[in-house]
Structure 1
């Protein structure tokens, strides 16, 4: 007889609430993505879809606690989705540094990581962490407890997931410090960067979008977007620490035996990230929203 994959009685109501909330985030994020043709925001569309499907799968899993496939699906999606949120923060921060800092001022004192390396370096570690956590999560959740080597497989999966979480925590911890520090080092660039874009013939392709932003929103305060990135990074960092504790404790740890932890330290922590990027959408602050920045904007 198969046993439940949970060490507690999972709540259908809690899973349904977060499935609905993340579903709203997905719809809203997708709408703004298409409305503004903000192709770079595709990452958040995918992340919100993963969270939504993950909690829908958790709803099903609460009523089918012996179904391994559904359990693996909900666990993997909710573990991996925040890594895409982290990647989005990396990309936005890189775009902001290009927007704000003149070429001649992109020095070590202003920003420890050159703008052209911000996204590639941190996204590389994010992808590495994603694959390690994916492998570990699959090993943890797909191991049959009746196998002779079940405990060895579980321990190996836990170790791999733990390494992935440590990689993510180290990279994201450094990024959080760099991003928060930039709030202070960027004060010398208080002038309107949008005016500079409008007055420079090299940026003519951005004029129409920039002027439209100013007409429709009256909001050209790039610092608002920077603050949102800062808040989102701190929230993802909190969630990463939670997952680190979870993988460190193992299956019989306090975190794994109490369902409230996943909702307080994961679901409820990541949800505001989507809400913030909807309310303070990058289209209000960035003149270029494609997958790649034009050469003259770098």
Structure 2
């Protein structure tokens, strides 16, 4: 290896030789998913789903930035952008799961049955409580990502700064993992506890054709369990990705996950993509009557 090649490897922000091809595939797939999510957001006027639009845009921009970063591994700005966006986007996707699960509860569970025993958390508090944890996790991971990507190898205290950033991001992932883990258990459990309301949903709403019902004057598909299963699948995928990131931060810069590229695509890109794509096909607006920022009083 010549002097120039050694200098390039030393200056690279990656601890492996990054590949361009998988980065391009990820960038194309996420860009398509973002465009479809954006079109549906406008088409269905599902304003609360704007959070998913933002997170899909972050993923698309993150992987596009990675394509640029792979071509110039010594450029700090593109490396920082791709690292930060890919790290933070799933945190917003978790918030989407909280919101949709809460709306499902409001839709199918009668007001008198929305007890702590059934839901563990009353529907009206699911979004503020879990999104609150999400915001804390987002800020911590953002702060950690900024610290990690702003470290200059020439600084005397570079290792200390890197460790500090790693620990901050690590705490952020732990917060997200604990909160989202509890939510995942509650959401998956609800698949079984919600069976008692399957018939009552049909009885409570006016019949409109074979597969739809009128809810608040809006015709919607009655097969809400499908949407609940999509939320469950998305929740599990985000959990897998969060565990991966936690292990990555714990191992440090010299760990296996930081010195090999394939885990990034398997446990992050591949895990998170269905979290966008599944909702493109099974869009919440096809199952829920209200997708505005606030539920009408009669729906609460």
TM bucket (normalised to shorter chain) is: over 0.9
Aligned twin of 1:284: 286
Answer yes or no: is the 8 Å Cα contact 1:61–1:67 preserved in 2.
yes
2:47 pairs with 39, 42, 47, which one?
A: 39
Matched, 1:74 2:71: no
How far has the Cα of 1:41 moved from its partner? 0.9
Aligned twin of 2:100: 92
How far has the Cα of 1:192 moved from its partner? 5.5
How far has the Cα of 1:295 moved from its partner? 2.0
How far has the Cα of 1:129 moved from its partner? 0.3
Aligned length: 286
**Whole-angstrom distance in 2 between the partners of 1:54 and 1:101:** 39
Aligned twin of 2:297: 295
How far has the Cα of 1:37 moved from its partner? 0.7
How far has the Cα of 1:297 moved from its partner? 1.0
Matched, 1:63 2:65: no
Instruction: Using structure 1 for the length normalisation, give the TM-score.
Output: 0.93
**Whole-angstrom distance in 1 between the partners of 2:92 and 2:141:** 13
**Whole-angstrom distance in 2 between the partners of 1:101 and 1:119:** 16
| CA shift digits 1:90-146 (9 cap, x unpaired) | 000000111111111111221111111111110000110000000001111110010
Alpha-carbon distance change, 225 to 192 in structure 1, aligned in 2, over 3 angstroms: farther
Aligned twin of 2:122: 114
How far has the Cα of 1:193 moved from its partner? 2.6
Aligned twin of 1:225: 227
1:147 pairs with 136, 151, 155, which one?
A: 155
Aligned twin of 1:209: 218
**Whole-angstrom distance in 1 between the partners of 2:81 and 2:124:** 36
How far has the Cα of 1:206 moved from its partner? 4.6
**Whole-angstrom distance in 2 between the partners of 1:86 and 1:281:** 16
SS at structure 2 position matched to 1:286 = coil
Answer yes or no: is the 8 Å Cα contact 1:50–1:81 preserved in 2.
yes
**Whole-angstrom distance in 2 between the partners of 1:224 and 1:296:** 24
Comparing 264-273 with 105-114, greater Cα deviation is found at 105-114
Answer yes or no: is the 8 Å Cα contact 1:220–1:284 preserved in 2.
no
After TM superposition, what 4+ stretches of structure 1 lie above 6 angstroms from structure 2?
none
Aligned twin of 1:202: none
| CA shift digits 1:207-240 (9 cap, x unpaired) | 4422xx3xxxxx3111000000000000000000
Alignment RMSD (CA, Å) = 1.4
SS at structure 2 position matched to 1:143 = coil
Answer yes or no: is the 8 Å Cα contact 1:206–1:288 preserved in 2.
no
1:167 pairs with 146, 153, 175, which one?
A: 175
SS at structure 2 position matched to 1:66 = coil
**Whole-angstrom distance in 1 between the partners of 2:264 and 2:203:** 45
Matched, 1:251 2:281: no
**Whole-angstrom distance in 2 between the partners of 1:292 and 1:247:** 37
Aligned twin of 1:236: 238
| CA shift digits 1:40-68 (9 cap, x unpaired) | 11111111100000000000000111111
SS at structure 1 position matched to 2:49 = helix
**Whole-angstrom distance in 1 between the partners of 2:201 and 2:289:** 10
How far has the Cα of 1:75 moved from its partner? 0.2
Gaps of 5+ in 1: 200-204, 214-218
How far has the Cα of 1:194 moved from its partner? 6.0
Gaps of 5+ in 2: 1-6, 208-213
**Whole-angstrom distance in 2 between the partners of 1:295 and 1:145:** 57
SS at structure 2 position matched to 1:190 = helix
